[in-house]
Amino acid sequence: MKYFLKHPFKALKAYLPKSMFGRSLLILVLPLVLIEGVAAYVFLDSHWERVAKMLARNIAGEVAAAIDLYTHTPDQEAFYKSLAGTYLKLRMDFVPGEKIQSPIPEEWKDTALDMALKDQVFTPYTFNIQNREILIDAEVAGGVLKFITPLNRLCSKSFFLFIMWVSITSAIFLLIAVAFMHNQVKPLRRLAIAADRFGKGRSFPAFKPEGAIEIRKLTHAFTNMKERLQRQLTQKADMLAGVSHDLRTPLTRMRLQLAMMMPSPEVDGLQKDIEEMNKMLEGYLTFARGEGLEETCETNMNDFLQEAIEGRADLQTVVHYTSHPLPVVYVKPQALKRCVMNLINNATRYGHEVWVKAFTDKDYLIIVVEDDGTGIPDEKIEEVFKPFFRLDSSRNIATGGVGLGLTIARDIAQGHGGDIILSSSVDHGGLKASLVVPY
């Protein structure tokens, strides 16, 4: 309550619809309902009351006239009866020797009819409403005059007609508005889904711009952006692949020439360098080939992880695997497997034992690879993602790779709309690498 008073708009927000469709509809419906409410209230208050009073006065006037006529010339009772019945919708009866017994029921006291009768009828009277009929008794000399008249004479139909017409037309217009609104929001919703899928590296069917001019522009801008990005990516990958490929031929030639030379420490050193260059080129090629052409498909994550663990380079190192039930996820399986395997290979290379666990949290699939190695110092955590960056600066091929493993792994993770997060493993002392992928 305190919060509500302090931030009324913020508090109100929690109760308002979240979607654009809901909000637009509210903007449309709220004024409509308010206007109708005010109109109905004003109408009810003035018109309805006046009409009710007038109708009651009519009935009371007729009853009073009939009583008057009867008291002055009681011998013409039959004539009055037919007069009242024909012209006044008032059935009339005289019961001689009777007196008024029951008083006016509490619920009808001081109503418009009671007031009108009080104003115009000067003999004791009572009335009641039963079976949609008004029964009025008035005491006259020698007995009681009983009047019966239909209840609908007291009600005006115009109010109900008014409400009915207003409600029906509003409902019809509302339905039309809902249909139009729905059509306006549809392209926006589709665009949001497309953007989401694009962000996660998934394909989506082409769609043509629809809806309001702003939404069309947005769709155009999005499609252009997507095409530009894809063109840029493929261009870069093609170039990288081309360069790596072209360099391999002279390198092979150099290796052959070295092999034919007399063995010496210099030749040995050159051979090692060439070996390393070759490895780097292989790395480049793998990176460039990337996940480019692979399509996303439904992948059973339990099987996927099992395969990734079994496919690791170093089968000597023990890998402990704990899995929670995993969903079927849309991913590029080959690429993602390379990503996970890079993490596992690092862990086996830099640690003695490896722990892999996989679980889901909200809309994310999380795969954690931990080891008991030396880990990575905090200040180097972002640097190890750079291409060819290795903590072991000797770049000794025997102790490790070329330094592209994490670069490729992060590239693949980000291509799926996710990321790789490195930290120190609390449980095992080494590195903790978490792959997070939305699904």
Binding site for ligand ATP (CB under 6 A): 283, 342, 346-347, 350-351, 371, 373-376, 384, 389-392, 400-407, 430-431
Query: Which residues contact Mg ion (rule: CB under 5 A)?
Result: 346, 405
Q: How far is the CB of 391 from ligand ATP (least distance, A)?
A: 3
Q: How far is the CB of 245 from ligand ATP (least distance, A)?
A: 19
For helices 49-72 and 77-87, angle between their N-to-C axes, nearest 10 degrees: 160
Give the one entry of Mg ion, ligand ATP, none that residue 418 binds, where binding means its C-beta sits below a cut-off of 5 to 8 angstroms depending on kind. none
Q: 69 CB contacts (<8 Å, ≥6 apart)?
A: 76, 80
For helices 265-289 and 405-415, angle between their N-to-C axes, nearest 10 degrees: 10
Nearer of residues 187 and 283 to ligand ATP, judged by Cβ: 283
Q: Helix H segments across 97-157?
A: 112-120
Cα separation, 221 vs 19, in Å, equals 23
Q: How far is the CB of 375 from ligand ATP (least distance, A)?
A: 6
Give the one entry of ligand ATP, Mg ion, none that residue 333 binds, where binding means its C-beta sits below a cut-off of 5 to 8 angstroms depending on kind. none
Q: How far is the CB of 282 from Mg ion (least distance, A)?
A: 13
Nearer of residues 34 and 313 to Mg ion, judged by Cβ: 313
Look at the block and give the residue holding tokens 């190695």. 373
Cα separation, 433 vs 107, in Å, equals 80
| Contact call for residues 46 and 162 (beta carbons, < 8 A) | no
Cα separation, 371 vs 335, in Å, equals 23
Total length of the chain: 439
* Token digits of residue 29: 């419906």
Nearer of residues 283 and 417 to ligand ATP, judged by Cβ: 283
Give the one entry of ligand ATP, Mg ion, none that residue 356 binds, where binding means its C-beta sits below a cut-off of 5 to 8 angstroms depending on kind. none
Look at the block and give the residue holding tokens 């007031």. 115
Q: How far is the CB of 215 from ligand ATP (least distance, A)?
A: 43
Give the one entry of ligand ATP, Mg ion, none that residue 187 binds, where binding means its C-beta sits below a cut-off of 5 to 8 angstroms depending on kind. none
Give the one entry of ligand ATP, Mg ion, none that residue 215 binds, where binding means its C-beta sits below a cut-off of 5 to 8 angstroms depending on kind. none
Nearer of residues 62 and 291 to ligand ATP, judged by Cβ: 291
Q: How far is the CB of 410 from Mg ion (least distance, A)?
A: 12
Cα separation, 95 vs 229, in Å, equals 100
What is the CA angle 222-224-227, rounded to 5?
110
Nearer of residues 187 and 430 to ligand ATP, judged by Cβ: 430
Give the one entry of Mg ion, ligand ATP, none that residue 201 binds, where binding means its C-beta sits below a cut-off of 5 to 8 angstroms depending on kind. none
Cα separation, 267 vs 273, in Å, equals 10
Nearer of residues 244 and 342 to ligand ATP, judged by Cβ: 342
